[in-house]
Each structure stands twice: as structure tokens, then as C-alpha cells.
Structure 1
Amino acid sequence: MADAAARTRMSEDEYLAFERASDEKHEFADGEIFAMAGGTFEHSTVAQGIGGVLRAALQGRRCTVQNSDMKVYIPSTGRYVYPDAIVVCGRPEFRDDNRDVLLNPRVVVEVLSPTSEAYDRGDKFANYRSIPSLKQYVIVSQDKPYIEVYTRQDDGAWGLRDYGAGQTAALPAIECAIEVDQVYAGVFEQYDDE
């Protein structure tokens, strides 16, 4: 399967077979695969933080939170991506019986990194907007307490609200709100050498 990564083009089915046999994560776009780079301590901590805060806020509801192990399929472009967190409400829909490719995210979260910021804000967001079930796209900074929430309006346009330290981010698509400070708990603390 290592040869598949070096190929310049492959079908969606070839990608899925390759990805399911791989120890590393790869996204898929336009017949090509792209290896996912590892994240920093801050990126990982923020991603876990927002996932945990969302999970707690949605407890007892028919919504589940998935981490970056779950792929999302974008049917309009045939892309497969790994968001940092996903909220799906109601019955999850999958591409096939492997149940590892989600079709109906309600909220997608991306934690920005220097290498992914332009893509997450540009092409990736444009692709996400084509998913009919997606109601909110949340961009989270790994460098400071700052969250941007893009919400699909009734007319199809996307509105932006941003939130910083000490504020509460509203997520009306899943009828909850999250404390920005809780998302970032422990991320920027300095530890003395022991």
C-alpha cells in the first residue's frame, strides 16, 4: 500500500481502501491524497478542550461529538477530510457499512495551525459550505483564546460571530453555548520545572 501514497491519482474507492489500511491519516481531494501533519501540544489540547466542552454541553441530547478520527465526505467535490471535531445530531449517516465516513455533520470544528489556516479559512470552508446538513463552522485559534462561529443563515449566506477570553460562544445550530475559557483551560499555563 505504500506505493498508493506516491501515485498522483486514485479513485475514491482506492483512497478509502488505502486509508483504511494506513497507520497515518490522509485527506483526499481531486484524486490525490494528502498526508495529515501532526499537531502541536497547543493544537491537541485545544482540540480536546473544545470536544470535551461540546460533549458536556450536549449531554442528554440526541447529538454526539466526534474527534479527528472521523472522516467527513463532501459529496459536491468528492473530498474526504478529517475535522478536529464534529457534531452530528440525530441518526448519523455513513458512506458505507464501515461507519468511518460521516455524511451529515451539523457542526464542524477546525483548530487553526500556521500550516492549515489559509486552507481552513478558504478552500476547506468553501467545500464545507456545500454540505446540506452543515449549519455551523467553528474556527478555533491555537495561539490565543479566540473562536469564530460561522452560521448558515436562512437565505444560505454565512454570518460570523467571534468570541474571546471571558465570553460565551453561542452555537444555535445545536442549541447550546460554550465558555471560551473552558475550551482553553490549561493550554497557556506555564509549568515550573520540578
Structure 2
Amino acid sequence: MSAVPQFALPSVSPEEYLAAERAASFKSEYYQGQVYAMAGASYAHNLVNLNTATALNLALRERDCTVQVSDQRLQVKDNGLYTYPDLSVVCGPPQFAPDKYLDTLLNPVVLAEVVSLSTGEYDRVGKFILYKDIPTLRHYLLLESTQPIVRLATWREPKVWAFDTFEGLTAVVPLPAIGVELTLADLYRKVPLAG
């Protein structure tokens, strides 16, 4: 989310945001009455996201799970955030916000954000605080875009989040809620890494 709201209006309703968003040629996030323009992504960012989506899609091909990338809007009902995570995984039937469009997802099990310079702090702290209100969420992945480092938050009962960091191309990230392990070698395949 950028630091400056896109609209100069003092407050925008969720309905106004959704109507404008569905007609827009670009994506924006919405939180507490404010609309925020979303920045573009780097080559490395996009490649890490694509590699992660590919690895998850292949690992989950025999399961009732779907992988979505950054064009899938997500609503966090408990706090009113509307956003576009870099990646989301839903297992079982997807649930959508109750309107005729069925374009706003509610029930991800896994969310991932590829960290960039402009959004890093928000992805690491602010977004995680907001994402924690999703009842179905079990894993939150933060993937660095220029070095093979993945930070993982895993939900453990009763409502406790455990944090792990995985570094280097030989590391393996476990996602027990969906029965998958991801290798950093796959996630960072062909990514130009910082020296």
C-alpha cells in the first residue's frame, strides 16, 4: 500500500471503492475509508511470485486447493481491508464476498507477499497484523525478492503464531496446513540475486 491515498475524499465507502475498482484499469487497496494506489513490481519480484505459484500449483495438483496470484482481490471481513496479495491458496470451495460479482475472496489458507523496497515494512508488519484476522489463514509467507530468504508465520492453536526464517537455496519451507514443502531453489529459480 502506498503512503498516500489515491482519492482526495475524506472517506470512501466499501461500496464506492468496489464500484470504482471494478471499472479501473489499475489496482488499488482499501482500508478504513481510504483508497491506496498499488505500485508496479520488479522483474525479480514477479519471477519469485511466479516460481512460488508454480511450485504450489504443482504440489497441490492432486488436492482440492487452488492457487491465485496478484489479480485476485481479498477482503479481510473483520477489519475491512481489501487488498491483492501476491499469492493466495484456498483449500476446499472458495468463499466470496456476498455480491453478484464473486471476485473478492474471503477464505485463504496461505497468503504470500514478495517483499520490495517500497512495501517491505508494510508487508512485514502492517499487512500481517491485518491478515491475522482471517479465520482460515494458517501460513503467511514473506519472500525477499533479491536474496533467497523466506520468513514464515504459521498459526498454531490456540491462536499463536510461530515465526521461522529460511535462508539459502538448500533450505526447505514446510507448510503443514496444506501438506507441502517448498524448496528455496525452486522459489528463486532464475532470479537475479544480489551479490
TMscore range, shorter length? over 0.9
Check if 1:137 corresponds to 2:140: yes
Task: Pick from 12, 29, 32 the counterpart of residue 30 of structure 1.
Answer: 32
Q: In structure 2, what is the equivalent of residue 188 of structure 1?
A: 192
* CA gap 1:185/1:78 in 2 versus in 1, 3 angstroms: same
Runs of 4+ in 1 over 6 A off after TM superposition: none
Separation of aligned partners in 2, 1:30 and 1:122: 17
Check if 1:75 corresponds to 2:72: no
Task: Pick from 175, 181, 188 the counterpart of residue 179 of structure 2.
Answer: 175
Gaps of 5+ in 1: none
Q: SS at the partner of 1:99?
A: coil
Check if 1:53 corresponds to 2:55: yes
Write out per-residue CA displacement over residues 93-117 of structure 1, whole angstroms, 9 at most, x where no aligned residue. Answer: 0002312110000000000001111
Q: SS at the partner of 1:126?
A: helix
Q: In structure 2, what is the equivalent of residue 90 of structure 1?
A: 92
Partners of 2:146 and 2:193 within 8 A in 1: no
Query: 1:7 Cα shift?
Result: 2.6
Separation of aligned partners in 2, 1:142 and 1:97: 36
Partners of 2:69 and 2:85 within 8 A in 1: yes
**TM-score, normalization: structure 1?**
0.93
Separation of aligned partners in 1, 2:40 and 2:9: 22
Report how many residues are paired: 187
Gaps of 5+ in 2: 1-5
Query: 1:34 Cα shift?
Result: 0.3
Separation of aligned partners in 2, 1:63 and 1:31: 32
Write out per-residue CA displacement over residues 120-164 of structure 1, whole angstroms, 9 at most, x where no aligned residue. Answer: 111110010011010110110001011111101112110012212
Separation of aligned partners in 2, 1:38 and 1:167: 29
Query: 1:33 Cα shift?
Result: 0.5
Task: Pick from 35, 43, 46 the counterpart of residue 45 of structure 2.
Answer: 43
Matched residue type, 2:75 = Y
Q: In structure 2, what is the equivalent of residue 159 of structure 1?
A: 162
Partners of 2:147 and 2:193 within 8 A in 1: no
Separation of aligned partners in 1, 2:164 and 2:75: 26
Query: 1:189 Cα shift?
Result: 7.0
Matched residue type, 1:99 = L
Q: In structure 2, what is the equivalent of residue 20 of structure 1?
A: 22
**TM-score, normalization: structure 2?**
0.92
